[in-house]
A = this chain, B = another copy of it.
């Protein structure tokens, strides 16, 4: 299958999320994608650097929220300001993808764009790049909406699933998409794994800008009209902030999965040959860190005495654990979280309490 030339390859990193599950490290002004959860660099920068050699830097766009424009720009200092698209208000993923698509089209009418969340972990790099090149080629050749499916390693209930046919070597290993399944119950997830042919929906997509805008016109016509109107008001190639501020809030709060992918006919799925981790909690983050022989994994200095399987994130401080097991312990200067690892997705409840107490300083 014919490769897409680099000049026509674009990538859009979705970096608007608030990542409340990583409190107290994450705050409204410092969401998950701006944290260095896996290594020394931010998730966002990792995501951007992963594209080197595939997408020219000038073809890379980041969509984020106006409220975090500065820290985002700081995380990717080599990116021109014009490449950072700031949503005046958050509106789920469909508006974000739609806006990015008209921006890509404005730069390159036959551009092919990858859509990538800013806060996922992918490795090894070579496998990711190979799959991404295959997806660009497929999306360009077949004018289809390409998604990456991840072979499930456990009956996870935190992801949507894609049911797909057999991978076809003549179509760059792509498989026909049979259907999208929302986050399942544990029983249903187990059935998916037993049945086979089900993949985790990674939330990473590749398509031509014109292909996805056609899909918007068909499945989200109201949103498509508003996007085209925004596009028509460009001044010096740029959509004025006033236009954005007026129009963007009118775009529906709808996800690209629900709005387009679950309905479109021209879908294809490439089974990822890379490993994928969306690092959904402190529990998952801890699993990536160095650990001692009793399973205590940490970022920072830990003294563990008769303590097992804890996750500790407290840079710049010595943490002594005595006799405790299965805890996530996260410290910042002004706040600390101590929870059971299996409860680490429930951090949201802490944020709700902080809201009630009007503790804006900690949100």
Q: Which residue of B lies closest to A339 (CB)?
A: B322
**Residues of chain B within 8 A of A340, CB atoms compared:** 322-324
| Copies of this chain in the oligomer | 2
**Residues of chain B within 8 A of A346, CB atoms compared:** 305, 322-323
Mask, A314-344, CB within 8 Å of B = 1, is 1011111111100101010111111110011
| Known contacts A303-B350, A303-B353, A305-B349; A334/B317 CB under 8 A | yes
**Are A324 and B336 in contact (CB-based, < 8 A)?**
no
Cβ 8 A contact of A323, one of B333, B343, B357: B343
Q: Is A362 an interface residue (CB 8 A)?
A: yes
**Are B337 and A322 in contact (CB-based, < 8 A)?**
yes
Q: What distance in Å separates the Cβ of A308 from its nearest Cβ neighbour in chain B?
A: 12
Q: Is A271 an interface residue (CB 8 A)?
A: no
Q: What distance in Å separates the Cβ of A57 from its nearest Cβ neighbour in chain B?
A: 40
**Residues of chain B within 8 A of A359, CB atoms compared:** 318
Q: List which A136-194 residues lie within 8 A (CB) of chain B.
A: none
| Known contacts A305-B346, A320-B24, A350-B305; A327/B338 CB under 8 A | yes
Q: Is A18 an interface residue (CB 8 A)?
A: no
A24 to B334, CA, bound (A): 18
Q: List which A26-85 residues lie within 8 A (CB) of chain B.
A: none
**Are A338 and B338 in contact (CB-based, < 8 A)?**
yes
**Are A362 and B327 in contact (CB-based, < 8 A)?**
no
Q: What distance in Å separates the Cβ of A138 from its nearest Cβ neighbour in chain B?
A: 44
Q: Which residue of B lies closest to A362 (CB)?
A: B318
**Residues of chain B within 8 A of A305, CB atoms compared:** 346, 349-350, 353
Q: List which A264-310 residues lie within 8 A (CB) of chain B.
A: 303, 305-306
**Residues of chain B within 8 A of A339, CB atoms compared:** 320-324
Q: Is A4 an interface residue (CB 8 A)?
A: no
Q: Which residue of B lies closest to A346 (CB)?
A: B322
Q: 17 more A-B contacts (CB under 8 A) besides A317-B333, A318-B334?
A: A23-B320, A305-B346, A305-B350, A306-B343, A317-B335, A318-B362, A319-B335, A320-B335, A320-B337, A320-B338, A320-B339, A321-B339, A322-B347, A323-B339, A324-B339, A324-B340, A336-B336
